[in-house]
Structure 1
């Protein structure tokens, strides 16, 4: 199983965003510390998701960065991604593990210790935990859990906890102090004027 980087970049496929341009700027800076989660909107066809994931996988490979596909595990298999990530409305973790195999990276979403423990027992390699702060990049999310919520989950499991939701450079130190292994971002890079510089700042905050 690939080692897990601390900075997770979730592709932003909203209108006006160019996830591949952001990735090209981030990869030379973060290299193997970067995990790219290919996430697409609900209206995206499997063919479109496949085309994006295939291009992301090709960009990640020379840098040793990890490529995962959110939700659409058949696409992850088709592009030979390093694994996938499943949310509450996707395949159950145990079923996802059977689909991907024992060696794949498998992330699962959780926001409280009980669900986190069950996901790990079912085969999750790491947990995406949040939202830790308010965010506008995804609609319909529950209330933020803050660093205290991150700490509760991190103390309950032995796998890496990746904090997600409204993460900025300024909030990284408190999340790391709460036990987060790393963070997942969307807008912090996709809306940055200089994604390469923003990546460097996030990596510095995560590894200091």
Structure 2
């Protein structure tokens, strides 16, 4: 899928798609409890656009984050906002022992990094049961939905992808800086997550 979609074997676009698809599918496998994963994808070279959708029929993001005692979550909307923050995970949090030499241990950066890639000229849409969040370069919208599980749509502007390594390094650096803003709190409030998403993790 990754190589056939852009009809390329290597390059920045292939690397970006590899990272995004791997992170999304890993989240489904580790958190959803779903026995079904459905996906579809399309590439429009003339529009500089890749679109990918992934769906599961699992528990939803709120339950996936419920094991993290440092999060205050009352509904799926809160869970969505928190899940999009860098370093927030239902598997890896303060007090959980990190496994040595395990690059795949969940770090809570998957959705954050993928959404940042999409927001660079494209957009990111995620549904968790009855709530959803739409993000693009200029806005954040909270929407009501009717679904069971998690659904994601990634729209990537291929014209904005120039140097894969530099792009990921920039987003990681900004993500680590953002995570430090709330890492000292006993519990992360959804209002903090909502504000940071609206500001694209930058100070105003």
TM-score band by shorter chain is: under 0.3
Larger radius of gyration: 2
Q: Which has the higher contact order (CA 8 A, sep 6+)?
A: 2
- Relative to its length, the structure with more helix (as a share) is 1
Scaled by the length of structure 1, the TM-score of the pair is 0.27
| TM-score normalized by the length of structure 2 | 0.27
